[in-house]
Structure 1
Amino acid sequence: MAEAPVRVVIADDDPDMRMLVEIAVRKAGLELAAVATDGTQAWILIRDEAPDVVVLDVSMPGMSGLDVCRLVRNDPSLKHIPVLLLSAGVSGASRDAGMDAGANDFMPKPFSPRLLAAKLAELARGRELAQ
């Protein structure tokens, strides 16, 4: 029996960034479950799709990626999902805010799609091991 593909929800309000994340998802051998353009839409899609991994931009219209990450962490049915935050803020404070919100990992923008693919594959492996 074939393994079910690892499904990813991504959210970023920048179309170019979304495209780069989509490329990284495919490069990692994962399946794109849904794409959101703002935090509110991301939260709805995460609840509806219950993906295996979530990639969130920190700064989005509506709810921020930090807000969505906190909601995921506070929902008993979703809190196990690995969350990767992407941010144009490269300071230690930005990273700390992401980790405080419950993110599993944090990547500054701009990023290498190859490095993002490696991080996504690592998060997917970690989730499989935890089950």
Structure 2
Amino acid sequence: MNKKILIVDDEPNILILMEQVLEKLEDDYQVELLTANDGKKALEIIQEEKPNLVFLDVMMPKMSGLEVCQFVKTNPEINNVYIIMLTAKGQEFEKKTGMAVGADLYMTKPFKPKEILIKAMEILEIEI
């Protein structure tokens, strides 16, 4: 069964970097990569594709990552999606807010590409 990862960020460079990091999973482990550059589009993709894992930026146009996360986690049809919130702000307030709306994990930008890959493999239960 194919596993799906959705990468959501309004910063094109971050999207490209994340795709490059996670492409190895796509090639070696039949993981499908999906992307969105705003919260509204992310929510549409989550509802249609039901990805296993979402890397979700907090600050985005149309709908914030926090709003997307809260909607997903309060909707029984899609609330089993694992959400990792990504933010440039490492303040405790941001982290608490992210966890309060149901984020499963919180990562602060800039992040190490290897951390992203290892975390994705852990969550998708992919053996190295």
**TM-score of the superposed pair, with normalisation by structure 2:** 0.88
Alignment correspondent of 2:64: 64
Structure 1 position 30, deviation (Å) = 6.2
Alignment correspondent of 1:91: 91
User: In angstroms, what is the RMSD of aligned CA positions?
Assistant: 1.6
1:17 to 2:10 alignment? no
Q: Secondary structure at the match of 2:98?
A: helix
Structure 2 residues without counterparts, runs of 5 or longer: none
Contact residue 69 and residue 103 of structure 1 kept, 8 A: yes
Structure 1 position 24, deviation (Å) = 2.8
1:38 to 2:35 alignment? no
**TM-score of the superposed pair, with normalisation by structure 1:** 0.86
Contact residue 84 and residue 103 of structure 2 kept, 8 A: yes
Moved over 6 A (4+): none
Structure 1 position 42, deviation (Å) = 0.4
- Over residues 36-92 of structure 1, what are the superposed CA-to-partner deviations in whole Å (9 max), with x where a residue is unaligned? 010000000110111111111000001111100011101111101100110000111
Quote the Cα distance in structure 2 between the aligned partners of 1:84 and 1:27.
19
Contact residue 39 and residue 65 of structure 1 kept, 8 A: yes
Structure 1 residues without counterparts, runs of 5 or longer: 127-131
Aligned residues: 123
Quote the Cα distance in structure 2 between the aligned partners of 1:102 and 1:30.
28
Structure 1 position 5, deviation (Å) = 2.7
Quote the Cα distance in structure 1 between the aligned partners of 2:99 and 2:17.
23
